[in-house]
Structure 1
Amino acid sequence: MPYCNVAKRYRLVALFLTLFGPTAGHQTRGHNHAAEHQQHIAHSPAGLEDVVLVIQSQRNSFHAQRGQQRRQEILQQAAELGQGFPFVILLHELSDYEGDWSILPALPLLSDSYRSASWFLFIEEETRVTLAALLQVLSRYEATKEWFLGKRIHDIEASIIHHYAFSEDPSSFGYPDPAAGWALSAALLQRLAERIQYEYLKSDFTIDLIHEIALYIWEEGKGPKLTAAPEFCTEPRGNCLTTFTSYLPNCGPPVSKEHIFIAVKTCQKFHSERVPVVKATWEADAGPLEYYSDVADSSIPTVSLGVPNTERGHCGKTFAILKRFLSNAVPKADWLLIVDDDTLISLPRLRRLLRCYDPKEEVSLGERYGYGLVQNGYSYTTGGGGMVLSRAAVSRIISGGCSCYTDDAPDDMVLGMCLKTLSIPITHSPLFHQARPDDYSEMRLSSQQAISFHKHWNVDPVAVYKHWLQDTHPHDEL
């Protein structure tokens, strides 16, 4: 079947769903053939028409385009294979709710919309899928039973981002590497979809999505653990059903350092402790940069914004930075990067990443967390890992009337609530990190070119920077 006909067919399906609702076509199929379909999946391997493939896409135009490209590649591969077509879903198009990225709120809609499906495969935008290998792997498991499949990774040490779960034996709990993709049988997804509608999560925060999904599925031993399937891969090798490219795509030459204005939040008590680390590591790669403190110190130098120092939150200081960024007091730049004085960052890698984004769009980029997402909550970019905002986004935040309810309110969360109100999506990159390298799976970090880490607690920050963030052969400066 020619590829153009596949694409045309897919567009017609999408148009039908738009006109008649997300479940219309699939409900009819499931209703007319329910008994026959149940008999089929109980006695024969799944076909591609039994698979829902969810690309964890994002609303930002660059990521939406990448998701669409991945979908078209999959459909073309299906046409060449000649064994039917899977349902290929872009997660950001599933509904209008921005919190669908956290998967659990999206499960009821997925379950209702694709009732005839046997398997649900979740992949990143940059995860490649070999459909023939996928069918071979799925044929080993009965979709009528509860299966959770993926590439198993685990913590080596108890981690703060996992709330020190399994502290006695961190390696005992496995969770999937999201870059390699992961799969749920229809039986398991349906039960999870029913459960999420009546059971509150133990935590309101979504911090490390894939670990929290694995914990929710495991249900303190009442549910299935992850089954490791070796065909879920990141690095290419024989018989892989998935492989992974990169979280740092090549979108062209890095943006000029003059196009990124950097705001470092500090305070007097850390002038002699943390600021020297910044100067010894990443400051040399910076263009325009200012240190913002509660006192002016010419030896650094620092700028006092007239906002008293607070022990936590720093919302007043951050909003003062946003307003200063738009003023004539600082050089005009396309991008604003706000970091803490104990943030370690690779500016050359950030400049490469920013080439993928249009600063004329309203962009908020960093490590995305969530609050109350199952109950219609909001997302936010974590402050410690670095918050990147386009000039267009900063202008909209200020003109939109957003403000702090107190100076010590959590700045990243207040900005998250503001962005939700203004319908500006949070764009996630796993290359930003709110915690230290030791707090993440080394197997997971190995597939990244990290952009940032945070905190100097119990580490040598200069050594962390040199090992994880400093490029041996940096790209040419612009």
Structure 2
Amino acid sequence: FFQRPPVVSCLHTLSDNEGDWSILPLLPELSHSFGKNSSWIVFLEEETNVKMTKLLQVLAKFDKNKEWFLGKPLHDQESTIIHHYAFAENPSIFKYPDFAAAWALSIPLVIRLANKVKEEPLKSDFTIDLKHEVALYIWDNGEGLPLTAVPELCTEPGDSPQTEHCATTLISEPPLCGEPVKKEDVFVAVKTCRKFHRERVPVIKKTWEKEALFLEYYSDHGDPSIPTINLGVPNTERGHCGKTFAILQRFLSSSVPNTQWLLIVDDDTLISLPRLRALLSCYDPSGPVGLGERYGYGLSQGVSMSIYIYPYIYIHFTYIFLYTAVVQLLNSGCKCYSNDAPDDMVLGMCLNALRIPVTHSPLFHQARPEDYPRDLLAHQVPISFHKHWNIEPVAVFNKWLKDDWSSKPSAGLNKSLKTEL
């Protein structure tokens, strides 16, 4: 099968374009770099194991001279806000790839899409759920290609006996790169407001608050029974930039314990702090980092490091900062243009200007478990969900987030691509 070993590249090394992680702006570069000498481009996640011989056997079933979009299909059970309620009448009709199983494009399709990207600006300025948006772009309102299901692209653990037919599997252990970060190294800031003191705060107290050694509730009203701290910033219905920056300033003051990490969450966030502390073991505490579920704005424009083109983390549920990142942010003069400015996007612009990495983890979720495909959640160990709408939040926490795997033995997280030749 092998005339020469396959080329393995990390997306962030292929060009200086900040939007490379969103795939579509990178297609012209992929077409130029690999189009003449390759038949397929296969996209993998860091947790994907590959049996290379089996993968080549699978790809050989498809005519490499034709256009193919291959993957393990996911679909929505119901229309969801994270996909802008697309296909509301029948959400299950549209299939998009589970990135963890790997997905592939034939070079003829890569070339056509690359030309399209160069000739026509991408329609959306926002990148939210990449796997769904890539599939929509390739499908092109029915004028392009649907996803072709490939059973050999799997998301079962690599040590499962049911994976003999699989070309790809997943690393079975959750992320753990060393000893979990200690409780005393994480400060938790909860954003709330007076109208939610009796509705949302009790859920936190019944679920995950006890796992936090240092935690404060920040509100527009001081309530000693919780207690909450009034930061002097009025509540706003939209963005909460003023409140978020007041939290950042307080974090660097002598009013709170000195910790390595700052976790900012909304008051309707459900989160496993033990799982989070295990994940944080994978990051160097000496360098600035922002961590959460990454979005993007203007990434399709392809201009590197522009103030108008940047990744950002959806801050209304989970945002994790290293202390050094907060110091650099505030020392840079970064600030809100109004109290109700979108804090996630303002922070995204500032982090981008400072070249502080905005790091994505698929284990953070901006919505409820009901808003994600069952097959996707089946192979995840989620860290957080968001929103109490139309659910019983304590029951959701107990089902999805209560168990503490951070104390269990782990082989560690191998962030390199594994292949079996």
User: TM-score with structure 1 length normalisation?
Assistant: 0.81
The whole-number CA distance in structure 2 between the counterparts of 1:473 and 1:373 is: 36
**Relative to structure 1, is the Cα distance of residues 334 and 474 closer, same or farther in structure 2, using a 3 angstrom cutoff?**
closer
Q: Hey, what does 1:70 align to over in structure 2?
A: none
Q: Hey, what does 2:89 align to over in structure 1?
A: 168
Q: Of 399, 402, 406, which residue of structure 2 is paired with 1:467?
A: 399
Q: Hey, what does 2:243 align to over in structure 1?
A: 317
Q: For residues 436-465 of structure 1, what are the alpha-carbon distances to aligned partners after superposition, in whole Å with 9 as ceiling and x for unaligned?
A: 111111110111111111111111111111
Q: Hey, what does 1:433 align to over in structure 2?
A: 365
The whole-number CA distance in structure 2 between the counterparts of 1:421 and 1:252 is: 31
After TM superposition, list the pairs within 5 Å mapping 1:115-126 onto structure 2: 115-116=35-36, 117-126=38-47
Maintained 8 Å contact 2:181/2:277:
yes
4+ residue runs over 6 A deviation: none
Q: Hey, what does 1:89 align to over in structure 2?
A: 9
Moved more, 270-279 or 243-252: 243-252
1:104, CA displacement in angstroms?
0.5
Q: Of 139, 154, 173, which residue of structure 2 is paired with 1:218?
A: 139
Q: Hey, what does 1:12 align to over in structure 2?
A: none
Q: Hey, what does 1:288 align to over in structure 2?
A: 214
Q: Structure 1 or 2: larger helix share?
A: 1
Q: Hey, what does 1:345 align to over in structure 2?
A: 271
1:179, CA displacement in angstroms?
0.6
Maintained 8 Å contact 2:290/2:319:
yes
Q: Hey, what does 2:19 align to over in structure 1?
A: 99
The whole-number CA distance in structure 2 between the counterparts of 1:401 and 1:474 is: 38
| Counterpart code for 1:404 | C
5+ residue gaps, structure 1? 1-46, 49-82
The whole-number CA distance in structure 2 between the counterparts of 1:281 and 1:354 is: 21
**Relative to structure 1, is the Cα distance of residues 246 and 372 closer, same or farther in structure 2, using a 3 angstrom cutoff?**
farther
The structure with the largest alpha-carbon Rg is 1
The whole-number CA distance in structure 2 between the counterparts of 1:247 and 1:310 is: 41
Q: Hey, what does 2:346 align to over in structure 1?
A: 414
The whole-number CA distance in structure 2 between the counterparts of 1:252 and 1:339 is: 25
The whole-number CA distance in structure 1 between the counterparts of 2:389 and 2:175 is: 31
Matched, 1:390 2:322: yes
Q: Hey, what does 2:100 align to over in structure 1?
A: 179
1:474, CA displacement in angstroms?
6.7
After TM superposition, list the pairs within 5 Å mapping 1:289-304 onto structure 2: 289-304=215-230
Q: Secondary structure at the match of 2:210?
A: helix
The whole-number CA distance in structure 2 between the counterparts of 1:262 and 1:253 is: 20
Q: Hey, what does 2:280 align to over in structure 1?
A: 354
The whole-number CA distance in structure 1 between the counterparts of 2:187 and 2:277 is: 12
1:435, CA displacement in angstroms?
0.8
Q: Hey, what does 2:332 align to over in structure 1?
A: 400
Matched, 1:381 2:313: yes
The whole-number CA distance in structure 2 between the counterparts of 1:452 and 1:333 is: 21
Maintained 8 Å contact 2:207/2:394:
yes
Q: For residues 154-188 of structure 1, what are the alpha-carbon distances to aligned partners after superposition, in whole Å with 9 as ceiling and x for unaligned?
A: 11111111111111111111111111000000000
Q: Secondary structure at the match of 2:330?
A: helix
Q: For residues 125-182 of structure 1, what are the alpha-carbon distances to aligned partners after superposition, in whole Å with 9 as ceiling and x for unaligned?
A: 1111111111111111112111001111111111111111111111111111111000
Maintained 8 Å contact 2:274/2:404:
no
The whole-number CA distance in structure 1 between the counterparts of 2:406 and 2:347 is: 33
Q: Secondary structure at the match of 1:88?
A: coil
Maintained 8 Å contact 2:278/2:406:
no
1:423, CA displacement in angstroms?
0.7
1:200, CA displacement in angstroms?
2.7
| Counterpart code for 2:384 | S
The whole-number CA distance in structure 1 between the counterparts of 2:317 and 2:55 is: 35
The whole-number CA distance in structure 2 between the counterparts of 1:225 and 1:107 is: 18
**Relative to structure 1, is the Cα distance of residues 219 and 348 closer, same or farther in structure 2, using a 3 angstrom cutoff?**
same
| Counterpart code for 2:47 | E
After TM superposition, list the pairs within 5 Å mapping 1:7-406 onto structure 2: 48=2, 83-116=3-36, 117-235=38-156, 236=158, 237-245=163-171, 248-375=174-301, 376=303, 377-406=309-338
Q: For residues 105-140 of structure 1, what are the alpha-carbon distances to aligned partners after superposition, in whole Å with 9 as ceiling and x for unaligned?
A: 111111111122110000001111111111111111
User: TM-score with structure 2 length normalisation?
Assistant: 0.92
- Ranked by relative contact order (alpha carbons within 8 Å, sequence separation 6 or more), the top structure is 2
Q: Secondary structure at the match of 2:70?
A: strand
Moved more, 354-363 or 387-396: 354-363
5+ residue gaps, structure 2? 304-308, 409-421
Maintained 8 Å contact 2:180/2:406:
no
**Relative to structure 1, is the Cα distance of residues 85 and 472 closer, same or farther in structure 2, using a 3 angstrom cutoff?**
closer
1:287, CA displacement in angstroms?
1.2
**Identity within the alignment, %:** 62
Moved more, 240-249 or 269-278: 240-249
Q: Secondary structure at the match of 1:263?
A: strand
**Relative to structure 1, is the Cα distance of residues 280 and 135 closer, same or farther in structure 2, using a 3 angstrom cutoff?**
same
Q: Hey, what does 2:380 align to over in structure 1?
A: 448
The whole-number CA distance in structure 1 between the counterparts of 2:119 and 2:198 is: 51
The whole-number CA distance in structure 1 between the counterparts of 2:82 and 2:316 is: 13
Q: Secondary structure at the match of 1:128?
A: strand
| Counterpart code for 2:407 | H
Q: Secondary structure at the match of 2:153?
A: coil
Two-structure CA RMSD over aligned residues (Å): 1.4
| Counterpart code for 2:68 | W
Q: For residues 22-71 of structure 1, what are the alpha-carbon distances to aligned partners after superposition, in whole Å with 9 as ceiling and x for unaligned?
A: xxxxxxxxxxxxxxxxxxxxxxxxx65xxxxxxxxxxxxxxxxxxxxxxx
Maintained 8 Å contact 1:246/1:448:
no
What count of residue pairs does the alignment treat as equivalent? 396
Q: Secondary structure at the match of 2:257?
A: coil
| Counterpart code for 1:380 | Y
Moved more, 248-257 or 206-215: 248-257
| Counterpart code for 2:390 | N
| Counterpart code for 1:185 | S
